[in-house]
C-alpha cells in the first residue's frame, strides 16, 4: 500500500465533499438536525392527555373526583361539557383524547353506600396511548376509591385517618427505577438517536460519493491508474470515516449538554465501539455503491437497507425484546441494534466490556465482512 496514493485519493475526496454544498449539508448538518428534531419530537411519554368532562351531578363529591384529573400532570383539562353529544365532536376532531362522564346522583349514591359508575371514553386510535391513558384513569379512580374507603372506616370505626390508611393498605409497594431514574423517554431515545443519525447519514454519503464517480466516468481515472484497489478504497473511505467520527463527537455533546442525558459509562469504550460502528455504516454505503450505477439507485437502496430497518428494528422506538420473534430475528441482522445496546449501556447503565463484548464483536464482524465484500466487489476491469 502506497501512502502517497492513499493520501491523494483521500484529500481529493475530502475537498470534493467539503466544497459541494449538498454533501456538506448531508455530512455535517443533517445528523445534528436529526438529533435535534427527533430528540425533541420523538418523546414517547404519554403526558398531557387532553380531556373533557361531562358532570351531570354538579355535586361537591363529583367536583372532588374530577379535581384529581385536573391536578394530574398526565391530563390536560379542556372544557366541561353539558351533554354527551358534544363529547363525540371533541373526540372526532382530536381536540380531546378522553371524556369522563360523571352520572347523576353520583354523590347521593356514594354517600348512601351504593355503587356508582363513571363512564370513560378513550380515543383508541393508538393502542399504546389508549392503554396508558386507561391505566392512568384506573389509577386515579383507585386512589379515589381508597380515599372513600378510608373516610368510611374513619367515620364508622372511629379510627384516625392515618390509622385507617394503614389498615386499608397493609401491603405497600416501593418501585425504584434504575438507570433512567426519572423514566424520561429522552434518556432512552437520545442515545439511540446517535445510532440513528450515524446510520442514516454515513452510508448515504459514502454510497453517493462512490457512485458519483461511476456516474460521471471519473472512476476510469482510478481504473486506468496504478492505484491498487485497497489504496483506492481506503483513501475513498477515510474522509467519510472522519466525517462520521466528527459527528459522533457532536452528537455525544448534544446528548450530554442539550438533552442532559447522563453519561455514566466508559468514554473509551464508547469511542472505540463508535469507530467500529462508523466503519460498519460506511461499509454498508460502500457495498451498496458497488452494486448500483446511479446516484438515484444508491439513494433508494441505502434508505431501504439501512434507514428503514434502523427505525424499525434497532430498538430506537420499540425495545427489541418486545418485538415479535420474527422481528427480533431481523433486528439481529442489522448492525443498528448492537450499537444501540452499546450507546444505551454506556450512557445509562455504566456497563463495561464484560456485558457489551458480544455487541462489539458483532460490529467488528460487520466491519470486516462488509470491508471484504467491498474489496471483492470492486474491480478495476469491469465487464461493462
Residues that bind other proteins (CB under 8 A): 2, 4-5, 7-9, 12, 15-16, 19-20, 216-218, 220-228, 379-384
The grid coordinates of residue 260 equal 442532559
Least Å distance, CB 237 to other proteins, is: 16
Cβ distance to other proteins smaller for residue 9 or 301: 9
| Residue 167 near residue 158, CB atoms below 8 Å | no
Q: Which residue lies nearer to other proteins by CB, 7 or 37?
A: 7
145: exposed, middle or buried (Cβ count in 10 Å: 0-12, 13-18, 19+): exposed
**What is the per-residue DSSP string for 232-275?**
HHHHHHHHHHHHHHHHHHHHHHIIIIIS-----S-HHHHHHHHH
First to last CA, the chain: 27
Compare residues 23 and 179 and give the one whose CB is closer to other proteins. 23
Closer of 86 and 215 to other proteins (Cβ)? 215
Please report how close the Cβ of residue 224 comes to other proteins at its closest, in angstroms.
4
Burial zone of 87 (CB within 10 Å; 0-12 exposed, 13-18 middle, 19+ buried) = buried
Per-position DSSP letters for 169-187, written without gaps between them: --S-------SSTT--HHH
Q: How far is the CB of 230 from other proteins (least distance, A)?
A: 13
- CB-nearer residue toward other proteins: 162 or 216: 216
Decide whether 141 or 228 has the Cβ nearer to other proteins. 228
Give CB contacts under 8 A, 24+ apart, made by 266-269. 266/346, 266/350, 266/352, 267/346, 269/342, 269/346, 269/352, 269/353, 269/356
Nearest approach, Cβ of residue 321 and other proteins (Å): 47
Shortest spacing between CB 223 and other proteins, in angstroms: 4
Nearer to other proteins, 14 or 179 (CB): 14
Q: Do residues 130 and 122 lie in contact, with contact meaning Cβ atoms separated by under 8 Å?
A: yes
Give me the helix-helix angle, 267-291 and 353-377, nearest 10°: 20
CB of 278 to other proteins, least distance (A): 24
Closest distance to other proteins from the beta carbon of 2 (Å): 7
CB 91 within 8 A of CB 99: yes
Q: How many CA atoms lie within 13 A of 83 on its CB side?
A: 1
Q: Shortest Cβ distance from residue 382 to other proteins (Å)?
A: 7
Which is nearer to other proteins, 232 or 259 (by Cβ)?
Answer: 232
Q: What is residue 101's three-state secondary structure?
A: strand
How far is Cα 180 from Cα 262, in angstroms, rounded to an integer? Answer: 9
| Minimal distance, residue 357 CB to other proteins, in Å | 39
Tally of helices (H runs) and strands (E runs) in the chain: 17, 4
Pick the closer one to other proteins by CB: 40 or 220. 220
Amino acid at each position: 500500500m502506497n501512502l502517497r496514493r492513499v493520501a491523494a485519493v483521500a484529500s481529493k475526496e475530502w475537498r470534493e465533499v467539503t466544497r459541494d454544498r449538498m454533501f456538506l449539508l448531508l455530512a455535517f448538518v443533517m445528523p445534528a438536525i436529526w438529533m435535534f428534531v427527533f430528540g425533541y419530537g420523538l418523546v414517547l411519554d404519554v403526558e398531557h392527555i387532553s380531556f373533557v368532562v361531562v358532570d351531570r351531578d354538579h355535586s361537591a363529591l363529583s367536583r372532588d373526583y374530577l379535581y384529581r384529573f385536573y391536578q394530574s400532570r398526565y391530563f390536560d383539562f379542556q372544557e366541561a361539557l353539558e351533554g354527551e353529544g358534544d363529547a363525540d365532536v371533541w373526540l372526532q376532531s382530536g381536540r380531546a383524547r378522553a371524556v369522563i362522564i360523571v352520572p347523576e346522583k353520583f354523590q347521593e349514591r356514594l354517600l348512601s353506600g351504593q355503587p356508582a359508575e363513571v363512564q370513560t371514553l378513550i380515543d383508541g386510535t393508538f393502542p399504546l396511548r389508549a392503554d396508558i391513558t386507561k391505566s392512568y384513569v384506573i389509577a386515579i379512580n383507585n386512589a379515589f376509591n381508597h380515599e372513600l374507603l378510608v373516610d368510611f372506616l374513619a367515620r364508622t370505626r372511629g379510627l384516625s385517618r392515618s390509622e385507617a390508611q394503614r389498615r386499608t393498605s397493609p401491603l405497600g409497594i416501593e418501585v425504584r427505577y434504575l438507570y433512567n431514574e426519572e423514566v424520561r423517554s429522552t434518556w432512552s431515545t437520545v442515545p439511540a438517536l446517535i445510532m440513528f443519525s450515524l446510520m442514516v447519514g454515513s452510508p448515504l454519503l459514502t454510497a453517493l460519493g462512490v457512485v458519483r464517480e461511476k456516474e460521471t466516468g471519473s472512476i476510469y481515472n482510478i481504473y486506468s491508474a496504478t492505484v491498487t484497489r485497497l489504496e483506492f478504497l481506503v483513501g475513498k473511505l477515510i474522509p467519510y470515516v472522519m466525517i462520521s467520527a466528527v459527528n459522533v463527537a457532536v452528537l455525544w455533546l448534544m446528548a450530554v449538554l442539550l438533552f442532559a442525558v447522563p453519561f455514566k459509562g466508559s468514554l473509551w469504550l464508547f469511542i472505540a465501539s463508535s469507530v467500529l460502528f462508523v466503519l460498519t455504516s460506511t461499509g454498508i454505503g460502500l457495498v451498496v455503491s458497488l452494486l448500483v450505477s446511479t446516484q438515484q439507485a444508491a439513494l433508494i437502496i441505502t434508505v431501504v437497507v439501512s434507514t428503514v430497518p434502523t427505525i424499525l428494528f434497532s430498538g430506537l422506538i420499540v425495545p427489541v425484546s418486545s418485538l415479535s420473534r420474527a422481528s427480533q430475528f431481523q433486528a439481529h441482522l442489522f448492525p443498528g441494534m448492537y450499537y444501540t445496546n452499546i450507546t444505551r449501556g454506556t450512557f445509562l447503565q455504566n456497563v463495561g466490556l464484560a456485558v457489551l463484548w458480544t455487541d462489539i464483536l458483532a460490529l467488528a464482524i460487520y466491519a470486516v465482512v462488509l470491508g471484504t465484500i467491498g474489496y471483492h466487489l470492486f474491480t478495476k476491469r469491469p465487464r461493462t
